Amino acid sequence: MIETAMEPTKLGIIGCGAISGHHLELATKSPEVEVVAVADLIEERATKAAEKYDVGTHYLNDEDLLNDDRIEAVVLAMPVFDRTPVAYKALERGKHVLIEKPVAANVADVEKMMALRGDRVVLCGSCRMGFSGHAAAAMKCVQSGVLGKIRLVRTRAVHAAPSKPNDEPPLWRESMKLNGGGILVNWSCYEVDYMMHILGWELKPKTVLANWWPVADKMSAYAGPGSDADAHFAAFIQCEDDIAFLMERAEFSSATTDQAWEIIGTEGTLHVPMVPPDGKPNAVVLDTFVPGKGVVSETIWEEKDGGETDTDMDNFMRAIREGGKIATDLERSLVLQNITDAIYASATSGASVSIG
């Protein structure tokens, strides 16, 4: 945690759904934060959050919270199409903003936030996987040069449909209207951010060829009514310096669960566990070619090694109070959004698309 004698930043949290608990847990445990108020359109959610985390004030809309002069910074924890107009208002009123992922529904929305930002701090929640010990170990390994010339970056996370669907699947989860997309924006924004972080944001995407598919008819009950976005997508991204980036993710799939995050070079391959295998401990494994022995595997980080480097809340607070570097700012978020927009555009057109 941050150690400083500065006054805590006075924070408001808008949206008291599931992800708000992550932010409230971190904020209420940090001496650098004073949670002044929470807000939600559903009164029961707002009052429950305020009671659980001992927050003195709750509001039933974003306007009242943003008009609270005590509040310096806000967390926006709701679906993207509700969130983006509130982000504009928060920036116009001079608030620092921690915005949930995905940062926006399209590139134009990110660019508008950049125009409104001024000297405010804006951090996107897609960065949170990069604060782990395994990300730090992977970054150190990449920087050592042991992989040789990087050829391929690969992320694959295909999750089998469970035996029964959620009784009330979220309406926004696979909705172009409410969330700007489906599994790509819900989860793969983490993966792209994570791999970009490990590679020092040196990966430069150029073109993409992609496809996506909605939830299959037999699994339709697993997605909310009216779902019209991706339950499964695949993309081939050609990057500068002759590097390819392969991405695939699916939920409610007919395949057994399989996941892998890999960086493959001419001399070594790094297996990086962004999310641990079910029931198994996390481990970062380095494969290297040794003449006379073939490929030799070495575990370079295990879960017991720990090594958590930060949290998204700490990073946000440090940037506000000390001018520290933001893990994923709007400029980096724009890179992620350009990739997302190009994947959807390629899937719609059936042709490769240049990435902005």
Distance CA 253, CA 233 (A): 11
Alpha carbon distance 263, 284 (integer Å) = 11
Residue carrying the six token digits 């934060």: 33
Residue 8 has a CB neighbour count (10 Å cut-off) of 17
In angstroms, rounded to a whole number, what is the distance separating the alpha carbons of residues 338 and 125? 17
Helix segments in the chain, DSSP class H: 20-29, 43-52, 62-66, 80-92, 107-117, 133-144, 176-179, 183, 189-198, 312-322, 330-349
Q: Is 116 domain-assigned?
A: yes
Residues 224, 78 share a domain: no
Same domain flag for 178 and 286: yes
Stretches in the chain below the pLDDT threshold 70: 1-5
Q: Does residue 101 fall inside a structural domain?
A: yes
- Overall domain count for the chain: 2
Q: For residue 124, which phi and psi values (nearest 5 degrees)?
A: -100, 135
Same domain assignment for residues 111 and 256: no
Distance CA 33, CA 74 (A): 11
Tokens of 189: 């924004």
**Based on the number of CB atoms within 10 Å of its own CB, is 62 exposed (0-12), middle (13-18) or buried (19 or more)?**
buried
pLDDT of residue 307: 79
Same domain, 319 and 289: no
CA-nearest of 308, 180, 174, 318 to 251 is 174
> In the prediction, which pLDDT does 276 show?
86
In a domain, 333, yes or no: no
Say if residue 118 is in the same domain as residue 265.
no
What pLDDT, on a 0 to 100 scale, did the predictor assign at position 2? 45
Token pair of 305, please?
């090694």
Residue with tokens 């980096």: 332
| Whether residue 93 is found in the same domain as residue 197 | no
Q: Are 96 and 183 contained in the same domain?
A: no
Residues 259 and 207 in one domain: yes
Residue 241 lies in a domain: yes
The predicted-structure confidence for 229-280, as pLDDT tens digits, reads as follows 999 999 999 999 999 999 999 999 999 999 999 999 999 999 999 998 777 8
User: Do residues 272 and 157 both lie within one domain?
Assistant: yes
Residue 182 lies in a domain: yes
The whole model's pTM is what? 0.94
CB 232 within 8 A of CB 212: yes
Give the separation between CA 14 and CA 75, rounded to whole angstroms.
Answer: 6
CATH of the domain at 80: 3.40.50.720
Burial class (CB in 10 A: 0-12, 13-18, 19+), 240: exposed
Q: Residue 346's domain is classified under what CATH number?
A: 3.30.360.10
Domain that holds residue 146: 132-307+338-354
Residues 149 and 115 in one domain: no
Whether residue 136 lies inside any domain: the answer is yes
Residues 6+ apart with CB under 8 A from 336: 102, 103, 124, 126, 189, 192, 193, 196, 328
Whether residue 76 sits in one domain with residue 32: yes
Strand order in the sheet with 232-239: 294-302, 283-290, 268-271, 258-265, 150-160, 243-253, 232-239, 205-213, 353-354
Q: What is residue 181's DSSP assignment?
A: B
Kindly state whether residues 157 and 274 are assigned to the same domain: yes
Residue 4 counted as domain residue: no
Considering Cα of 50, then 54, then 55, then 56, what sign does the dihedral take?
positive
In a domain, 3, yes or no: no
The 10s digit of each residue's pLDDT in 135-158 is: 999 999 999 999 999 999 999 999
